[in-house]
Amino acid sequence: MAFMRQNKKTLHFAYVCLLLLSGCASVLIAGASGGVAYSVTNIAYKTISSPIDQVDLANRLALMKMGIKYVEVIKTENRARLFAKTSELKIYIDLNKITPKSTKISVDAKKNFLVKDKSTAEAIIDETEAMLAKD
Please name the helix (run of DSSP H) or strand (run of DSSP E) that holds residue 91, with its range, or none: strand 90-99
Q: How many Å apart are CA 88 and CA 31, to the nearest integer?
A: 27
pLDDT at 41: 65
Q: Is 13 exposed, middle or buried (0-12, 13-18, 19+ CB in 10 A)?
A: exposed
Domain ranges, ordered by start, for the chain: 41-133
pLDDT at 122: 94
pTM: 0.72
Is 35 in contact with 28 (CB distance < 8 Å)?
Answer: yes
pLDDT at 53: 95
Domain 41-133 sits in CATH at 3.30.310.10
Per-residue confidence in pLDDT tens, the chain, 135 aa: 444 445 555 655 555 554 555 444 444 444 444 566 555 567 899 999 999 999 999 999 999 999 999 999 999 989 999 999 999 999 999 999 999 999 999 999 999 878 888 999 999 999 999 999 986
CA angle 125, 116, 95 (to 5 degrees): 35
